[in-house]
Every structure is written in C-alpha cells, then in structure tokens.
Amino acid sequence: MMKHSVNKIKNGLVLALGLSTGIAMAQNTPLKFQLDWRFEGPAALFLVPETKGYYKAEKLDVTVDAGNGSGGTVTRVASGSYDMGFADLASLMEFAANNPDAPNKPVAIMMVYNNTPASVMALKKSGIKTPADLNGKKLGAPVFDAGRRAFPIFAKANNISNVTWTAMDPTLRETMLVRGDLDAITGFTFTSLLNIESRGVKAADVVVLQYPDYGVKLYGNAIIASPKILKENPEAVRAFLRAFSRGMKDVLANPAEAIQSVKARDGIIDVDLEIRRLKLCLDTVVNSPDARSEGFGQVNGPRLSLMASQVSDAFNTKTRVNADLLWNASFLPSAKELNVLSKK
C-alpha cells in the first residue's frame, strides 16, 4: 500500500513537471526570420542575440535562416512563409508598388542600414575615377542586385548615360571584373570589395564609388514584418526588436567575437575575412553620420518620401510608392534601448 502511494506521488510529480515544462515552452513564441543573404559577417547582427540568449530572454523561439537576395525575402514574408525578415528598403517599395492588391504586404519597422551599401566598383587600371568616367562603359551585376536596380538613380544624379549591362550569377561577378570582362560592377561594398581582394587584387587598386557619396541618399536594409504578425502578436515583434537592439550593442563593441555566432552556423567561413566584412558594414552603413544624426533604427520623413519617389521613377512601378504605408515606427524600442551607436 505504501509502495503504491509513493509511486502515485512520483507519477504526480512527473506529470506536474511535464505540465510546467510544457507551459514554459508554450510561453516562447515561435518566430521565423529570413536574412537577405548568406551567413556572412553582417548576419552576426541577428545571430548574436540568438547565441547570447537574448531572444529566449524575451520569450521568443526565433529561427534565423539564410537568404538569397532582398527580393526573395520580401516575397517570402509576403507569402507568410516567414514572419519577419531583413531586406533592402527599395525592394520592399518595389514589391508594394507593383502588387497594390497583395493582401499581406510587408512593412519596414526598424532601419538598420541607414545608408545603402551599394557602390560601383572598378579596377584603377580601367581609368575609371569618377562617376562621369562610367559613360559608355560595360557594367555587370546579377539582375536582382540592389546597386544595379538603383543605378538609374545614381546615373541621373551624376549625368551618366550609354551604359551597357551584363548579367551573371553572383559568384561570377567579381571574377568577371578581375578577368577584364567588365569595366565595372555594382554590389554592396562590404561584399564585393572583399571578394575582389580574395581574387588577388589589392584594395588600393580598386576604385569604390559609394552611392551615398555621390548624391544618392537611399536607405539600405531594414527589418520588415508581415501585417499578420503585427496585428496578431505585436508584443512578440516588440520583443524581437528589443533583443536585436541589445545584440547590436554587443556586435558594435566586439565584432571579432560576434563572428563566432556566424561560424557556428557555417563552419567553413574565413573568420578573418568575415570580421573585416562586418567591420566594413558597421562603419559604412550602420554607424554612419546619417544614422547618428537620425537615430539608430529610425528614418527621416522627407528623406524617406524622396526615396519613395526615386524608386517609383527608377523602377517604373505600376503605382507610385506610398512611403506612409511602408514604414511603421510604433514597434521600436525605447530611446534608451536604441542608443547603441558610439560617436566617432
């Protein structure tokens, strides 16, 4: 009789423990997040909060997946495959303006790359030194490259004409430039410049014409979210942005340590190369003068409206981009939590 009672108590404890564990697990809201690109240096911005448990501390169970371009990220968030993502704002604008009747158009909720990372890059031996030297030249980039898509804005700002384009797989872009098949390429500076170096060209022998330095003040990548999750679970969205901002402080403080979170997801990365890529990203588009002026995570209204107009014209969208429908700052963390950028 005594043995039966003891077993009953044990079973009750096991059941109670199981229930409490189940309740605890149920409190962690699952959230699927799509990056814009592969697990390279900048992915640390989203992987550090995962590694350090910041998402879990906010009762979130976040899955961070690699991407293959901002256009794909926007489409997957719009389809409901992902709750949130990281994408070029111009790609988000283009999707919204070309799909006015789409039922689940994503919106941007936090600016991360305050300036577009897009550049035109050429080898010094080509003789290209300024945007004017691009007239009549042969440029190359994948068709979905953000720099290529926004090139009409860059061209208009710098009176460039008569450019011919060659499309290729992303893995061939820098190779074709180094081989002499192209006069110049477009791409994210922190991606293409280091890829050119890895193909045997010194950085000092590369001309980099960064869009923001030549009159193109486009915003870059932002965190986007589906209207569905914004409506159904706004607290989970706010929790994600809090955890992300907390992780951003760590990444800015120690980029080298942050890369370990990327290596954990892709063990074959070149750690030293990815540390340089991350630092270049942070210095040029995250902790930039514009970002420090406007505030991390935020945007300037007139600048956003100008970008919307420029994208409408350059991308020849079906309808005009309405910036007011694509930006929602109401989920941002407090000013104290957003104070992550150090003065330079």
pLDDT band at 17 (very low <50, low <70, confident <90, very high): low
Mean pLDDT confidence for 148-158: 93
Report the pLDDT value the prediction gives residue 25, as an integer from 0 to 100. Answer: 47
Predicted confidence (pLDDT) at residue 1 exceeds the cutoff of 60: no
pLDDT band at 21 (very low <50, low <70, confident <90, very high): very low
For 118-214, CATH gives 3.40.190.10
Report the pLDDT value the prediction gives residue 26, as an integer from 0 to 100. Answer: 58
Report the pLDDT value the prediction gives residue 8, as an integer from 0 to 100. Answer: 53
Predicted confidence (pLDDT) at residue 10 exceeds the cutoff of 90: no
CA contacts within 13 A on the Cβ side of 145 = 29
Average pLDDT of the residues of the chain = 92
Q: What is the pLDDT of residues 252-310, one digit of tens each?
A: 999 999 999 999 999 999 999 999 999 999 999 999 999 999 999 999 999 999 999 99
Q: What is the pLDDT of residues 87-112, one digit of tens each?
A: 999 999 999 999 999 999 999 999 99
Report the pLDDT value the prediction gives residue 34, as an integer from 0 to 100. Answer: 98
pLDDT band at 20 (very low <50, low <70, confident <90, very high): very low
Q: What is the pLDDT of residues 60-84, one digit of tens each?
A: 999 999 998 899 999 999 999 999 9
Report the pLDDT value the prediction gives residue 12, as an integer from 0 to 100. Answer: 53
Predicted confidence (pLDDT) at residue 218 exceeds the cutoff of 90: yes
Where in the sequence of the chain do the CATH 3.40.190.10 domains occur? 26-115+219-338, 118-214
Report the pLDDT value the prediction gives residue 23, as an integer from 0 to 100. Answer: 44
Report the pLDDT value the prediction gives residue 69, as an integer from 0 to 100. Answer: 86
For 26-115+219-338, CATH gives 3.40.190.10
